Amino acid sequence: MYQKQDDYDELAEATLMQTEYRPRRKNRRPCLIFFCIVVVFLAIIIPVAIVASNRSHGTSGYVTPECPSGDERERVDCYPEGGASKARCESRGCCWAQPTTQGPPSCFYPVNHGYELVGGLQSTPIGYRATLRRLNTQTMYGGDLGNIEVVVEVQEDYRLHVKVSDPTRPRYEVPEAALKRPQATTLAEHPLYNLTFTSNPFSIKVTRRSTGATM
């Protein structure tokens, strides 16, 4: 009788040990649900991002041209060699619209073409200096520089000097001695013109102080 009791005790103890040390299986259902949610989210957001990028940059990867709707007299001819047509103009990444008056071109540059100002406009003793970076727009003639430097000198009341150069590679320039022009060292005191700078895309607008007309 005592032997049977001992056998029962040993069996109960072994059963208890198995119960205490048996590893519990982890519930992986929450992880699986979370993984499915992430996959569904990525499947939705990635195509939407691709479509939005294509709409803003066009199928060629360039920024879609934004055509100006303001004063037609401020249009810049995008097909100066002649023979422009709507198809040729738009294939160059430019805007096409017949002017309402004689004079302005039908093929003209979009407002988001060119370069943007990097680091702000810097003042110099005789004017201004700007570093520009090319916008991601279609090239017109090829060989466009990624970065350029613009130096603006307000030399005299009636004279403005603008120089555009490649800041990474020197190029040939006509010697100053050959030009035989007076060298200015300070800003003109009473220039007959005003300067207006736009940062993106970068531009310089020169107007007469007396009439406000664009020069």
**pLDDT value of residue 28:** 59
What's the average model confidence in pLDDT over 2-18? 49
Residue 134 pLDDT exceeds 60? yes
In this predicted model, which residue has the larger pLDDT, 207 or 53? 207
Widest pairwise Cα distance in the chain: 130
Q: To the nearest whole percent, how much of the chain has pLDDT over 90?
A: 42
Choice among 52-61, 72-81, 98-107, 143-152 with the minimum mean pLDDT: 52-61
**pLDDT value of residue 24:** 55
**pLDDT value of residue 163:** 92
pLDDT category at 4 given cuts 50, 70, 90 is: very low
**Span 50-111: which CATH code?**
4.10.110.10
Q: What is the dihedral of CA 182, 187, 189, 194, to 10 degrees?
A: 110
Residue 23 region, left (φ>0) first, then alpha (ψ -120 to 50), else beta? beta
- 3-state helix, strand, coil split of the chain in percent (to 5) is 30, 25, 45
**Domain segments of the chain as ranges:** 50-111, 115-208
Q: 165: closest CA among 204, 131, 197?
A: 131
Contact, 98 vs 106, CB < 8 A?
yes
Model confidence pLDDT, tens digit, residues 60-90: 567 788 898 888 988 999 999 989 999 999 9
Q: 90: closest CA among 125, 120, 62, 122?
A: 62
**pLDDT value of residue 148:** 95
What's the average model confidence in pLDDT over 156-162? 93
Q: What's the Rg (C-alpha) of the chain?
A: 36
**Span 115-208: which CATH code?**
2.60.40.1760
Contact, 107 vs 89, CB < 8 A?
yes
pLDDT category at 155 given cuts 50, 70, 90 is: very high
Residue 2 pLDDT exceeds 50? no
Q: What is the DSSP string of 17-86?
A: HHHHHSPPPP--HHHHHHHHHHHHHHHHHHHHHHHHHHHHH-TTSSPPP----S-GGG--BS-TTS---H
Q: Is the fold of 50-111 the same as that of 115-208?
A: no
Cβ neighbors of 108 (< 8 A, separation 6 or more) are 68, 75, 76, 77, 78, 94, 95, 97
